[in-house]
Structure formats: structure tokens, C-alpha cells
Amino acid sequence: MRRRTLLGAALAAPWAVGGCGADDDALTFFFQARPEEARVRLRIIEEFRARHPEIKVRTIMSGPDPLQQMLTYCAGGKCPDVMMAWELLYAGLADRGVLLDLRTLLDREPGYAAQLRRDSFPTLYDTFSYGGGQYALPEQWSGVFLYYNRRLCAEAGIVPPARWGDAWSFDEFLSATKELTRRTGDRTRQWGFADAWVPYFSAACFGMNNGAEWFTPAVNPTRTNLGDPRFAAGFQFYADLAVRHRVAPKVADQQSVSAPDLFRRGRAALALGGHWLYSEFAGHDDLDIDLTVLPRGPAGGPGAITDVGCTGLSIAADSPRIDQAWEFVKFATGPVGQAIVAASGLFVPVLESVMVAPGFAAAHRAIGNLEVMTGGPAASRPLPVTPTWGKVSALLERSGNRVLRGAATAESLGGTVTSDIDALLESHA
């Protein structure tokens, strides 16, 4: 999954390398990023060090399995002081006592805590509230939306919606993707839609856009709603785009070329993904892009929704440098750190004041429908936050992919897989 399993990149700065547990007094910061994203994090660290020269910071880059890597470090007594937190993964660490409940620090600074709450998007902030604790502060939003090729849409007479509250219907979306699909015989020259995210996650977003939650409640859920007819209909609509209507490539069609490549080459008019794709699409003279929102099903509404897709920063419960870590987390997730994030053009900030400041708009001059990004956090819904996510995800992926291949219908999700997932959730409740 591009957003959650990026391979670690090596950093060039001499103070930004090293492993856990080195015998020094540096604050260790564990995160995952592409090289260009890592450079933005370095700028945040550099600015922090300029304001706090007494606090040294040493970065630790994640490999492809950050959860296992963090568990290994912490089991050996060498847990990083500050750790990047993923909405789907942090609950397992919190449940094991690895992460500090930040309420202990927020309660010491009630004025700061109140201001942070006022400036935060509740959907993002509350994603990291688990079991009565606050285990991370949000640092970036990476919910999904649709990129579209302006030229291809204009040639087809299609004007995609510009705001989450003005979403197109499933029928309108299907009609548009059919109009945007071009074939010569059995060969598809241009797809109406391509998915650059994770298909069964995308299908779940379509299910949620048809009026049903994926899990109830989203944080520490007790059941899944795969069998809800509304969710199943939305999931099936997504699957049918490729299997039935042939307006999107099947998995087999993407063996030789990826969805981002299809969109970059003008062979897909719409591409589902998040902000992480912006730097890949923007700045190409032959690719004029804008943004639009996910479609809304007949049982959904009134507007469309997306996933929270948020990462945050946590502090290790056994860190010997908790006060220093707290200063860094406050800085990186606060106005100055978030302004650097906004101006980079590589991340979407999580504070309302920074989101509407000139820096974010200036970094996205190629986008006309910027409200798709700025309005995204408020239109977000959490993905399931549960310590059992690893086992639940394996069941979801296996059963969901059968539907996406056309080997089963979405109605089948309400059978054994729902019972198995509910049993997992109940065993932890």
C-alpha cells in the first residue's frame, strides 16, 4: 500500500543517520518517507534545532514493515523516542503499552491543549484517540480523492465536481467514465478510471459513500458492516467498473503498466489516489490536472466522503527524553512545522489555520479545485482502528479481492468473512 508501506530512504545529512540505541543523548525520531518527503522532514528538524539547539535529533528510517520494526526495537529496550503513527497500526502499539498517552502532557498545558483542539480537524485528532487515551497528534492528511485530466474531460464535455458537498452520483460517475473510455476493437486506448490506491480499500470507500460505515464504531470496533446491503452495493459498484462495465483496468491489465503511469501518459482520464501522487503528476507540460471528489451512492449523502488517511507523531512510553520528545512533537504538529509541511507541496497539513494560509495554495498553483484538499479532512471518515487489524486485514483482502476479480459478488461478504471478522473483534473487546 503506497501510503503505508513506503520503503525507507537513506538520508544524506550526517546527523540524520544511525540506528536505535546509539550511546548518545540524541532524541531519536522514527519515520517512513520517500526521499523527497524525507527532505521535508529534515527541514522541520533543522528549524526545530535552530530554535532548540540544546536538543539533538537523530532520525531512524523505517523499512517496509514499520510496525514489526518498532516492536523489535521496543522489545529490545531501544524504542525510538518519537515515532510516526499510522491510523491502522498505532492501536496495536498502544495496546501493548509501547506508546505514551499524551493526555499526561496535554493536561500540563491546558492553554496549548485547548488551542490545538480549536485548530485541529476533529476527524483527524480523534483518529488517534484509542481506549480513552490520546496516543498521537496528527501531522499530515492523506485521504483519497480523484485526479482528472482537464484536456480529456473537456474534450468529452465533462465538468467534474469541485467540492465534497457537490459530489456526483454513482450514475453520473459511471456515465462519465464510459464517455471517457476509448477502445479500438478489443484494445482499450484510454480508460475512464484507474485506481492508484489499494483496490479493496477503494471499494470500501465506495461502500461508505453509499451510506454505511465499514466498521462500527470506527475506533475499537465491535463489528464490521460488510453485510449491510448499502455497503455491499457500493463495493459492488466499484468492482463492476472493471469487471462489468470495463471502464477501469482489471488487475491483470495493470501488470505491465501501473495506474499512475496510465494517468501520466494520458491513458486514464481519472485516477484515484492521495496527495502523495501530486508531485508525480504536477509540473508536466503535457499533463494538465485538477482534482475532484469520490462519487456518492443513492443511499449516501448529501455529500461525498473519503478516508481519514492520517499519520501522526507518538512518544515512546519508556522514553528517557519525554520532555524533549514532547517539545519536538508540539513543534512538528504545530503552526511552524505545519507551515513547512504546507509549503512543501508534498503533504497536506492538519491545522485549519495552516490549511487556509497562502503557503499551501502557493504550493498547489496547478490546482483549481483546491477545496478537494482543503475540505478533505472535514469530509473524512476513519478507517478501523483496532489492535487486531493485521488479522482483520488478511480476511478483508482475501474476500474482497474475490469480488474485485469477479469471482464472487459483494453480497458474499456478509457471510463467513463477516462472522470471522466479528469474532476477532469480539475476542479483543
pLDDT in tens, 291-343: 999 999 999 989 999 999 999 999 999 999 999 999 999 999 999 999 999 99
Sign of CA dihedral 92, 273, 367, 294: negative
Q: What is the pLDDT of residues 43-97, one digit of tens each?
A: 999 999 999 999 999 999 888 888 888 888 888 888 999 999 999 999 999 999 9
Cα gap 133→111, rounded to integer Å:
19
Please say if the pLDDT value at position 23 is more than 50: no
Answer yes or no: are the C-beta atoms of 335 and 137 closer than 8 Å. Answer: no
pLDDT in tens, 346-356: 899 999 999 99
The pLDDT of residue 211 is 97
Could you read off the pLDDT of 204-249 as tens digits, one per residue?
A: 999 999 999 999 999 999 999 999 999 999 999 999 999 999 999 9
Neighbours of 3 (CB within 10 A): 22
Confidence of residue 16 (pLDDT cuts 50, 70, 90): very low
The span from the CA of 122 to the CA of 409, in Å, is 35
Q: Predicted confidence band at 255 (pLDDT cuts at 50, 70, 90)?
A: low
Residue 184, helix vs strand vs coil:
strand
Cβ atoms of 52 and 60 within 8 Å: the answer is no
Q: With cut-offs at 50, 70 and 90, classify the pLDDT of residue 1.
A: very low
Model confidence pLDDT, tens digit, residues 396-414: 999 999 999 999 999 999 9
Average pLDDT score, the chain: 91
Task: Respond yes or no on whether the N-terminal peptide bond of residue 358 is cis (omega within 30° of 0).
Answer: no
Report whether 36 contacts 279 (CB < 8 A). yes
Is-contact 104 197, C-beta < 8 A? Answer: no
Residue pLDDT, tens place only, 146-157: 999 999 999 999
CB atoms within 10 A of CB 327: 17
**Where does the pLDDT of residue 25 fall: very low under 50, low under 70, confident under 90, or very high at 90 and above?**
confident
Q: Domains in the chain, please, with CATH?
A: 14-142+308-355 (3.40.190.10), 144-306+384-428 (3.40.190.10)
Residue 137 CA to residue 125 CA, distance in Å, equals 7
